[in-house]
Amino acid sequence: MNAIEIIGGVLIMIAAVVITVTVMFQEGKGNGLNALAGSNESSYLGKNKNRSMQATMVRVTKYTGIAFVVITLAVYLISYAMK
């Protein structure tokens, strides 16, 4: 293994941990039994969902997932080109 593969592997592991943690902290998309009582879209959190911590977690998960794929492909292509 060369240095690029080691650094890429470490970055992939960090991205995997970040994805796992952010997904675990996210709330479910379905309301379950709460939907029977009425929608919470009229509440303050429902109106400002894009500014909430939940929206931040979704963005972090999305961008970390993209970084994970890009790093994986880059490490593969670089290591393949060196052989």
- Separation between Cα atoms, residue 73 and residue 70, nearest integer Å: 5
Which residue type is seen at 80? Y
The reply to whether the predicted model has a pTM over 0.75 is no
pLDDT digits 0-9 by tens, 49-66: 666 888 889 999 999 999
Q: Phi/psi at 38 (nearest 5 deg)?
A: 125, 165
The verdict on residue 76 lying in a domain is yes
Domain count within the chain: 1
- For position 63, what pLDDT does the model report? 97
Residue type, 20: T
Residue 54 domain-assigned (yes or no): yes
Which residue type sits at 57? M
Range of the domain at 75: 49-82
Q: What stretch of H or E contains 28?
A: none
Q: Contact at 8 Å (CB) between 2 and 82?
A: yes
Q: Is 9 part of any domain?
A: no
Residue 71 lies in a domain: yes
23-35: average pLDDT? 70
Is 60 a domain residue? yes
Q: Is residue 5 part of a domain?
A: no
Does a structural domain hold residue 25? no
More confident residue, 73 or 39: 73
What residue has token string 């393949």? 80
Tell whether 16 is covered by a domain.
Answer: no
